[in-house]
């Protein structure tokens, strides 16, 4: 959890190195996207369609159109195919206006859906007037991230002061990779106790904050990111609470599912160990991702692909947790390989596959 403390410190010391405006002002064009519905162009409620359209004024000189996509896509200008590409394409609006017209009707098409596409207009920064010199432009997401991180620090401090043994047990990497029976704290084995429920709540808030930072920085590289947009500090807290509640509900659902499966497969007293280690994997993964996020922020990384890789790393860590859990079961349970593997498929592998599908498709 010290990693989270360092995250907040870095956000306080280097806020403008992360979110400062570059020499070019960037205008996100998604708010102006249109879709073709029954022969009419209407405002796109979501980015779930395969084709989206928008207008660009070619009279404004010195601008650039930047389009990014994780999958293959095509760019149409005034109904003419211009580019087929994967990745990033940057086009000069001046050149497009000279070739076509000052009114540019842009169409984007992808057979994978438009949710992974991102379009923005880069404009030359205008010099500040004398009246605006010295005034800082507010950054709602930075405000939300700092306040949320401070609340997480406060929550961790309370957990550490009230139950230091249990808190350190959750962050013990050595116990995570130990395949032999080791002594856990009494509270650790009472997975439904009030103090453990507080740890699950803290874990949910921690994971939700990391996901919101990733969603905000990666754009719409994944479809689920478009469902958690943050356009104000208050909306940031609303999305954070909503996503935290979802994650907490999934944790409780997983606990109930493990109780049912252990009864069906005849595994006794394995629920406490398995669920405790799962939460331990989540907390350690969040600490690791926080360290990576700190490096991104200090290095002023803006590429959306790097934040998309955070979700990939999280999936890899969860997959490694499944492997570790298998060896823990082998060391404790005298069952055949296929019996253990079938249990892992139902309790760990299939839920993980569903989550990966939600994030990546």
State mean pLDDT over 164-175.
79
Global pTM value: 0.62
Selection from 127, 102, 103, 107 nearest residue 117 by Cα: 107
75 vs 298, higher pLDDT: 75
The pLDDT score that the predictor gives to residue 360 is 61
**Confidence at residue 181, expressed as pLDDT on a 0 to 100 scale:** 52
Q: Calculate the CA dihedral of residues 248, 249, 254, 257 and round it to 10 degrees.
A: 160
Q: pLDDT, tens digit, for every residue of 204-221?
A: 999 999 888 888 887 666
Dihedral sign computed on CA atoms, order 212, 352, 242, 30: positive
Q: Sign of dihedral through CA atoms 310, 314, 315, 320?
A: positive
Task: Summarize the confidence of residues 239-257 as an average pLDDT.
Answer: 92
Report the alpha-carbon distance of residue 282 to residue 204 in Å, rounded: 9
Q: Is the pLDDT of residue 177 over 80?
A: no
Q: Which CATH number applies to 23-124: 2.60.120.260, 3.30.540.10, 3.30.230.80, 2.60.40.10?
A: 2.60.120.260
Mean pLDDT along residues 185-209: 79
- Cα 349 to Cα 275: distance, rounded to the nearest angstrom: 14
pLDDT confidence tier of residue 237, bands split at 50, 70 and 90: very high
What CA–CA distances, in Å, run from 181 to 172, 176, 330, 332? 14, 11, 11, 8
> Domain segments of the chain: what residues?
2-15+139-360, 23-124
Please, which pLDDT band fits residue 126 given cuts at 50, 70 and 90? Answer: very low
How far apart are the C-alpha atoms of 185 and 197, rounded to whole Å? 15
The Cα 349–Cα 346 span in angstroms is 7
Largest CA-CA distance found in the chain, in angstroms, rounded: 78
Query: Residue 270, SS3?
Result: coil
Q: Where are the alpha helices (DSSP H) in 14-139?
A: 15-19, 93-99
Cα gap 150→83, rounded to integer Å? 46
């Amino acid at each position: 959890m010290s990693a989270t403390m360092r995250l907040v410190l870095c956000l306080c010391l280097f806020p403008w190195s992360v979110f400062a405006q570059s020499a070019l002002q960037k205008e996100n064009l998604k708010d102006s996207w249109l879709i073709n519905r029954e022969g009419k162009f209407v405002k796109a409620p979501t980015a779930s369609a395969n084709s989206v359209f928008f207008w660009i004024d070619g009279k404004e000189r010195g601008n650039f159109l930047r389009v990014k996509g994780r999958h293959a896509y095509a760019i149409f200008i005034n109904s003419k195919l211009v580019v087929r590409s994967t990745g990033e394409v940057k086009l000069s609006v001046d050149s497009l206006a000279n070739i076509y017209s000052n009114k540019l009707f842009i169409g984007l098409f992808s057979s994978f859906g438009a949710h992974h596409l991102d379009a923005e207009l880069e404009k030359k920064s205008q010099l500040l007037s004398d009246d605006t010199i010295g005034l800082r432009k507010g950054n709602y997401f930075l405000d939300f991230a700092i306040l949320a991180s401070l609340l997480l620090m406060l929550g961790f401090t309370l957990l550490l002061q009230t139950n230091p043994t249990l808190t350190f047990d959750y962050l013990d990497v050595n116990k995570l990779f130990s395949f032999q029976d080791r002594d856990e704290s009494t509270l650790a084995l009472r997975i439904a106790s009030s103090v453990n429920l507080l740890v699950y709540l803290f874990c949910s808030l921690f994971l939700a904050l990391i996901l919101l930072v990733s969603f905000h920085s990666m754009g719409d590289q994944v479809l689920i990111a478009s469902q958690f947009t943050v356009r104000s500090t208050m909306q940031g807290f609303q999305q954070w609470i909503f996503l935290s509640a979802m994650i907490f509900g999934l944790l409780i659902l997983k606990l109930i599912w493990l109780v049912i499966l252990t009864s069906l497969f005849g595994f006794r007293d394995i629920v406490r160990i398995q669920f405790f280690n799962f939460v331990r994997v989540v907390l350690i993964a969040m600490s690791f991702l926080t360290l990576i996020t700190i490096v991104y922020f200090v290095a002023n990384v803006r590429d959306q692909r790097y934040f998309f890789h955070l979700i990939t790393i999280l999936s890899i860590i969860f997959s490694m947790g499944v492997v570790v859990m298998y060896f823990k079961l082998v060391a404790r349970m005298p069952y055949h390989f296929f019996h253990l593997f079938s249990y892992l498929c139902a309790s760990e592998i299939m839920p993980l596959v569903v989550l990966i599908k939600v994030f990546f498709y």
